[in-house]
Structure 1
Amino acid sequence: MAEALSKSRDAAANVSAPEKAIINHATIEQLFSDYIADQKRRGKRSYDKTQYRLNQVLDSQHIDRNTPAKDITPAHIKRVLAEFISRGAVAGSNKVRANLHAVFNFGLFADNDPAKLNEKVIYGLDRNPVTVVPRQEGADKALDRFLSWDEMKEILKLFRISSTVFPIHPDYGRLILLCIFTAGQRPWEIMTNTKDNWDKNNNTLTVPLHISKNGDYHVIPLCESATEILECQAKQYPDSEFLFPGDTKEGHLLTAEYAKQIRKFCARYDFEKFTPRDIRRTFKTLAGEMGISSEMRDRLQNHKKSGVSTKHYDRYDYLKEKREIIAQWESKLLSL
């Protein structure tokens, strides 16, 4: 009887307190890798920027990439972020902090999902070490930088010397020009786009749903200058499906390197710093000066149209008006 009672208690204990099978806990490098893979799977467009920042963390003298993720402490995080701050990248430290916070939350949720009660513990995290490390208040500047007409003139002068000579890598040079001549389109929606979306007969480039930020099809009218850039790319890379192929795992150029190339240009030519997003803002601002309505500027840049479902949205709406704006924009740029 006593033996039966003991077995009964053991069985009850197993039911009331199920245990996960424990394996060697994943390293911080593996946690980072798993997070990036999850971002790619979920179609997050900024994964390459995040990966670039996380690689910087792994390269820090304060981090051993083979350390189990569960052994990373707030002290590690504080020292890593201090490196960014010490070299003047205060706003950058906030971006890295945000990425790290998301990464460790990913690991926490993966291990503590009730739906995975009897699965193996991968990371062994019981807290997020980033939470108690404060961000740097006031470091993030308002996004208000746009290029003046004089700055646009200088960029066009430097980047249009010839089809092959550029102040930076030629492919990124042509990408900058295409973003300019297409009225500040999102770089991601161009560099990940493929040749089959380029309608040469109608001079348009379509952004398909799977790479469109707002989930809508978007038809970009192409001026002659934009078409010349695409033709140059096609001639340079006849065997690639991408408009802007790259020697990357993805097969196309990446936004992190694009931003880096622009920084190099600014430093090399003593040009006031600007970012890829500032090119987009430049069209929005300067086209406004030209008298183009805010609604049409938004439509041309593929801003989300509130109250209009993707299902009923006609991708060719306002194409005539968008062509007219692109023609005005190109004419103004070439007159500088």
Structure 2
Amino acid sequence: MGKFARITKVIPHGSLEARKLSTGGVTFYWRVTAAGKTVREPIGTYDSLASPKSLQRTARGYSVQAAIRAAEALAHRHDLHKADGGHAVLKQAEKVARAEAIARAADERKHTLECLLNDYTAHLEALGRRSHADARSIFKVHVLEPWPKVAALPAQHVTMEQVADMMRRTLELGKGRTSNKLRSYLRAAYQTAKASRSKARGRERFMGYAITTNPAADTSPDESSNNPDKRPLSIEDMRAYWHRIKDLAGFKGAVLRLHLLTGGQRIEQLVNLRTSDIASNAITLFDGKGRPGTAPRPHSIPLTTQAAAALKQCAPVGEFAISTDHGDTHLAATTLSAWAVEAVGDTIPDFQAKRIRSGVETLLAGARVSREIRGRLQSHGVAGVQARHYDGHEYMDEKREVLVLLHKLLVNAPAKVTNIKERRKA
């Protein structure tokens, strides 16, 4: 190592020094005497290729003029703290600032977008929401893998434009519906974290993200991908479908009859029926289509004579009632849908299992069943303060009557809806 060489006096105090290293390089220092001791603060290396008049640090280091400016800045900061101990106070403040920066960086690494998405899907799973697997898959394929740099950002720094880019890429892959689902899941994740700031308890894991804005909420969905299927099966199609499955033998036929005779429940919810949720005259499903971050809502469906017979033929044992491995796992929703298509064959053009649900509602609407009772039967959600908080009636008698009517309509027998109040009076 070479000796220190003073280059110039720095105003108001201290000086700029340079030291030549054994490697041939030169390092600049700011030198000051504080409390009777000489202190040297490193500035940086000398850039021999820089313009002598350059006042800015380059990628390789400092010109002499740039080093002088840096030393003047250090001297000025020292002067501001001189009354408090000068260099010692300055060094302590820098030490605290570095510690805070390290802690802040560590905290941000724990609260990245990827961490938020993982915490949100874990939150859904803990609530028993079936959507946790779908959300986790969409996040992996359309956020974490294609956008690793954005996923590594602190969640609170992600912008609306970055979320829109994710949606746009998914849309360009020909996955319009998935693009909208991605937006919905991102919006729900941010809203859950944002709401945690005002919650008294229950969402502690999200408070550290310090989310105050929701970037996904400022984006717009692709409306063309949100159009529902408005092709419910006609009454003739519904009767044709029933004719194909009413005598279909084995487990397959029993499952298809149970699905239709309970009112065309959502297939994903039906196949998740647990044996413990079967009563002598009803079954209970759990509807996870409610508000984000809330637990699935129990949805009870009465069993008519025909539906009870179909359920018995499914031979429920173990944990899951609709199963091909003695209840260890449930039947896949896609399998039930494929069995329905297979049973229909070429009888109904463009048949899809999801059209059964809308076909049931259309059939019942044609029989003058009220919208409210149809919604209660198919668990379309309960709207309004009165319905959600004050109406505790389970509508089991009304649902049972409608399911009896449904069977009569399917077998093409004349049927009439009896007013519940009139029936009770009788």
Which category of TM-score, normalised to the shorter sequence, fits these structures?
Answer: 0.5 to 0.7
> How many residues end up aligned between the 2 structures?
308
Alignment of 1:47-62 (within 5 A): 47-57=132-142
Question: How much has 1:226 moved relative to structure 2?
Answer: 1.7
Alignment of 1:103-118 (within 5 A): 103=189, 105=190
Q: What residue in structure 1 maps to residue 232 of structure 2?
A: 146
1:193/1:220 Cα in 2 relative to 1: closer, same or farther (>3 Å)?
A: same
1:95/1:267 Cα in 2 relative to 1: closer, same or farther (>3 Å)?
A: farther
Asked whether 1:199 is paired with 2:279, we answer yes
Asked whether 1:98 is paired with 2:98, we answer no
Amino acid in structure 2 at the alignment position of 1:226: A
Question: CA-atom RMSD, angstroms?
Answer: 5.2
Query: What CA deviation, in whole Å up to 9, does each residue of 1:175-202 have, x standing for no partner?
Result: 55423211233445533332233233xx
Amino acid in structure 1 at the alignment position of 2:178: G
Instruction: Give the TM-score normalised by structure 1.
Output: 0.64
Question: Larger strand proportion, structure 1 or 2?
Answer: 2
Asked whether 1:313 is paired with 2:415, we answer no
1:12/1:25 Cα in 2 relative to 1: closer, same or farther (>3 Å)?
A: closer
Alignment of 1:73-222 (within 5 A): 78=165, 81-87=168-174, 89-103=175-189, 105=190, 135-142=221-228, 144-160=230-246, 162-164=248-250, 170=252, 175-187=255-267, 189-200=269-280, 203-207=281-285, 218-222=299-303
Amino acid in structure 2 at the alignment position of 1:282: G
1:111/1:290 Cα in 2 relative to 1: closer, same or farther (>3 Å)?
A: closer
Aligned-partner SS, 2:225: coil
Q: What residue in structure 2 maps to residue 290 of structure 1?
A: 367
Question: How much has 1:329 moved relative to structure 2?
Answer: 0.9
Aligned-partner SS, 1:199: coil
1:59/1:297 Cα in 2 relative to 1: closer, same or farther (>3 Å)?
A: same
Q: Identify the range of structure 1 (184-193 vs 285-294) with the bigger mean alpha-carbon deviation.
A: 184-193
Identity fraction in percent: 20
Q: What residue in structure 2 maps to residue 325 of structure 1?
A: 402
Q: Distance in 1 between matches of 2:343 and 2:171?
A: 20
1:51/1:232 Cα in 2 relative to 1: closer, same or farther (>3 Å)?
A: farther
Runs of at least 5 residues in structure 2 that lack an aligned partner in the other structure: 1-83, 414-426
Question: How much has 1:227 moved relative to structure 2?
Answer: 1.8
1:259/1:160 Cα in 2 relative to 1: closer, same or farther (>3 Å)?
A: closer
Instruction: Give the TM-score normalised by structure 2.
Output: 0.53
For the 8 Å contact 2:167–2:183, the answer to whether it is kept is: no
Q: What residue in structure 2 maps to residue 227 of structure 1?
A: 308
For the 8 Å contact 1:287–1:329, the answer to whether it is kept is: yes
Q: More relative contact order in 1 or in 2 (CA 8 Å, sep 6+)? A: 1
1:67/1:232 Cα in 2 relative to 1: closer, same or farther (>3 Å)?
A: farther
Asked whether 1:280 is paired with 2:365, we answer no
Asked whether 1:300 is paired with 2:377, we answer yes
Asked whether 1:69 is paired with 2:152, we answer yes
For the 8 Å contact 1:35–1:106, the answer to whether it is kept is: no
Asked whether 1:36 is paired with 2:121, we answer yes
Question: How much has 1:4 moved relative to structure 2?
Answer: 11
Q: Distance in 2 between matches of 1:262 and 1:48?
A: 24
Q: What residue in structure 1 maps to residue 45 of structure 2?
A: none
Q: Distance in 2 between matches of 1:110 and 1:288?
A: 40
